[in-house]
Structure 1
Amino acid sequence: MDLFDDRRQPPPPRPRRPRPIPPDETPTEVIPVEDYDGYYEDDYAEDDYAEEYAEEYAEDDYAEDDERAEPEYIEPPEDEDEPPRRTKRGRRIFRWVGALAVIVLIGGGAWYGIDKVFGYADFDGTGDSDVVIEIGQGDSTNAIGTELTTSGVVASSKAFVKASEDNSKVLSLQPGYYVMKTKMSGAAAVAKLTSSGARVGVLQVRAGTQLDDVTQPDGSVTPGVFTLLSKASCAQLNGQSTCVSAEDLRKVAASADLAAMGVPDWAASAAAKGTDARRIEGLVAPGVYDVKPGWKADELLGFVLKESATKIQAAGLAASSSVQGQNPYQILIIASLVEREAVTQDFGKISRVIYNRLAQNQRLQLDSTVNYLLDKPVVTTTDADRGRPGVYNTYSVAGLPPTPIGSPSSDAIQAALQPTEGSWLYFVKCDKNGVSCFATTLDEHKQNKELARQRGAY
């Protein structure tokens, strides 16, 4: 049998300690191993030889184990206090506790650093000198805080934001101008800003309001645009009044370049023919305006006229507007007549009566135009009133008056642009609620007037 039969190759034996080799009685020739690879390829015997070799190898191993000395346990000295060994679990818990302690220390230091670096400045007290600030449409609390900081009211925006967290009134602040003080604490600024008297410069013009004051039948006075604008300009800033008088506003209205003040070209060219303040009548649209106390007369009036031009255009009146041959400025005049003569539900019909009379070259005979010069709000007029000469007396003068007679609303402008279809030539207030009765013939009109008297309409 070939000793180097490689039909079956057992795994290489584990290395073991060398043991003494007995002398060979029949020495043979020693064949040197050429290389390491030959060991794996040729250094295995047949199965029976391999098994015998393995058994011998195992027996030798056990023999060696039996020959090893058993370790001797030495007791530690009684006076030495050796700490117990930590288990893996104990070491793991210790590591977690240490990590948490580090996190707490780092977190505390970070919070202290954030508070120091990112904290906010704040003044003490209720402030020093007066200052006017503006809140814009839709401004957030942060935006208001930024405006206050820029104006020197608060030391930082955050001081105001923090102080306003518990005050819901801040969320309902209206856009406009407010009198504040410099160097206020955040809390003082919130309290001042939300107080009833903080907002200033509010001008409210109602539909039909004239430029000048109107005396009511009971003797009370309804302020006109000039008076309203004068009051809106008033504020007390560091002991000084910012009021601009109504007379100063009239002077500007009578002499200023209207186109330069924002009046639309189609209105400026017509209004420029006038020589007094009434030439801007009707060019101040109804609405709410925010004017800044401290502005001069020309700044106040210019701002209101520019804003009004936008409102009038939004109502539909433009340079290209034309109805039955009437230009945009004449349409504005008609709208002012409609506003003063009727309630809203009759606007379209009143507009139609005016256009029908103009088409037939029939005098308008409107009491509102007569009362305009008299500054009276009543609908009816006396014979003496109707007998007064003047360009606004539509009983004696044909056609439209030279200017509007008040501030027409957008509804009145719409009615002037799109009058209701009809053939009416007459109307009279026939009910106490202001509703009018309309007629095509004079006889029908007389019947409506009698009905109005019976109802106590006038």
Structure 2
Amino acid sequence: MSELFDQKLAEPSPSHSEQQRRAERRERAQRRRQRRKRTAIAVVLSLLLIAGLAVAAFFVLRPLLTDRPAPEATDFPGPGSGSVEVVIEPGTSGTEMGEMLTEAGVVASPGAFSTAFTANPAASGIQPGTYVLLEEMAAADAVAALLDPANKSEVTITVPEGWRATQVYERIAAVTQLPLADVEAAAADPAAIGLPAEAGGNPEGWFAAATYSFQPSVDATTILRTMVEQTVSTLDALAVPAAERQAVLTKASIVEHEVFLAEDYGRVARVIENRLADTEQVNGRLQMDSTVLYGVGKSGGIPTRSDLDDDNPYNTYLHPGLPPTPIGAPGAAAVEAVIAPPPGDWLYFVTVDLDSGETLFTGDYAEHQANRAALNRWLEEHPSSDEG
């Protein structure tokens, strides 16, 4: 115990300078605590001030928020009057339609149309096209009008199976009111209408049999190019090589003109293949009435003796092989039949009843002669049917 007491007595006392440094540290620490306290008080006062301003603003603005209704998009009462033509392009959104119709004077505001568009579940089905609408319509009525096909202003052109190019030109001119000369001039520019090189510059057979819809302002070149594109698309879908397209269309056009009943497409296509390959009985001659009639400018009936004697490239009684071009626009069924005809040894066929379309096929010439006799008897009983 005395040793410990003696040891503490022996330890030196802190110097005056050390005591002064300790005092300065205590003062600095105290000043920091005071600054933090002042900062905290300032923050609290600021928050209280902001909260007070927010409460005051609420009470000032509350009457405006509760007493005034939200503004509504301007709308016409309808039903409207006059007329205006608008074009809805592919991919046009409802918002874009509203802006377009507002600019055209059909609806009062884009907002009104947008509201009506959203409210109509069928609105997403509005199709591209040209529409004739009233001016100053109620927005909901404008949406309904765009959904009604009766309001579409379109040029519709139908090309039936078997039609020749000249018939297509006349139909286009009649429907569009374009001069026939303009249509023919467009057809005379193979590059402009997208005619493939294998057509040899002649568009016969390349105007696909189908129904087309165009904008009222369409030109002849666009119409013809669309028809050619449809033919190319069909051939591509059936994997017809480019080098074989012209031959396929030519065969199919003959099938189209020779067949009465759909069930005979394949058999007529097989007759064509067999005749082209035959070197003994028909020597590669198709002997098709349809090509003979095309060559002399006739569109139907039975060839006369004069027609059969006319020496032109389409007279397949005189010339072996295929004619130089198709003889009309084949339908898809005829093209498919040519691509994959059924097996058979048929070289001859004749339609023995021009009313019912009954057609007899055979590979035997004597039997074919008997079938022709049956046709002659039918013609004697129906004398007006052989006029071409």
Structures share fold, TM-score greater than 0.5: yes
Map of 2:348 onto structure 1: 426
Say if 1:120 and 1:283 are closer, same or farther in 2 by CA, change over 3 A: farther
Q: Work out whether residues 312 and 410 of structure 1, in 8 Å CA contact, stay in contact via their aligned partners in 2.
A: no
Q: CA deviation at 1:182?
A: 6.2
Say if 1:173 and 1:445 are closer, same or farther in 2 by CA, change over 3 A: farther
Q: Distance in 2 between matches of 1:414 and 1:195?
A: 33
Map of 1:204 onto structure 2: 158
Map of 2:131 onto structure 1: 178
Q: CA deviation at 1:340?
A: 1.1
Please give the per-residue CA displacement for 1:253-279, whole angstroms capped at 9, x wherever unaligned: 12x1x2453334xxx24332xxxxxx2
Map of 1:364 onto structure 2: 286
Say if 1:314 and 1:382 are closer, same or farther in 2 by CA, change over 3 A: same
Q: CA deviation at 1:408?
A: 1.0
Q: Distance in 2 between matches of 1:383 and 1:168?
A: 66
Give 3-state SS (helix, strand or coil) of 2:318's partner. Answer: coil
Report the TM-score when normalising by structure 1. 0.58
Q: Distance in 1 between matches of 2:367 and 2:68?
A: 88
2:368 aligned with 1:445 = yes
Say which structure is richer in helix: 2
Report 1 or 2 for greater relative contact order, CA contacts < 8 Å, sequence distance ≥ 6.
2
Letter in 1 for 2:131: Y
Letter in 2 for 1:429: T
Q: CA deviation at 1:355?
A: 1.1
Q: Distance in 1 between matches of 2:267 and 2:216?
A: 42
Letter in 2 for 1:207: E
Please give the per-residue CA displacement for 1:203-259, whole angstroms capped at 9, x wherever unaligned: 2222222222xxxxxxxxxxx2112223443xxxxxxxxx322221111212x1x24
2:193 aligned with 1:261 = yes
Give 3-state SS (helix, strand or coil) of 1:112's partner. Answer: coil
Say if 1:404 and 1:382 are closer, same or farther in 2 by CA, change over 3 A: same
Letter in 2 for 1:248: D
Aligned CA-pair RMSD = 3.9
Larger Rg: 1
Q: Work out whether residues 158 and 210 of structure 2, in 8 Å CA contact, stay in contact via their aligned partners in 1.
A: yes
Counting only pairs closer than 5 Å after superposition, residues 150-229 of structure 1 correspond to structure 2 as 153-156=106-109, 159-160=112-113, 176-180=129-133, 184-186=137-139, 189=142, 193=146, 194=148, 196=150, 198-212=152-166, 224-229=167-172
Find 2:210's aligned residue among 278, 281, 287: 287
Identical positions, percent: 33
Q: Work out whether residues 201 and 232 of structure 1, in 8 Å CA contact, stay in contact via their aligned partners in 2.
A: yes
Please give the per-residue CA displacement for 1:390-448, whole angstroms capped at 9, x wherever unaligned: 22222222221211111111111111111111111111112332232111122111111
Find 1:271's aligned residue among 197, 200, 203: 200
2:112 aligned with 1:112 = no
Q: Distance in 2 between matches of 1:435 and 1:282?
A: 26
Letter in 2 for 1:380: I
Q: Distance in 2 between matches of 1:380 and 1:149?
A: 61
Map of 1:42 onto structure 2: none
Q: Work out whether residues 345 and 363 of structure 2, in 8 Å CA contact, stay in contact via their aligned partners in 1.
A: yes
Q: Work out whether residues 84 and 135 of structure 2, in 8 Å CA contact, stay in contact via their aligned partners in 1.
A: yes
Letter in 1 for 2:245: P
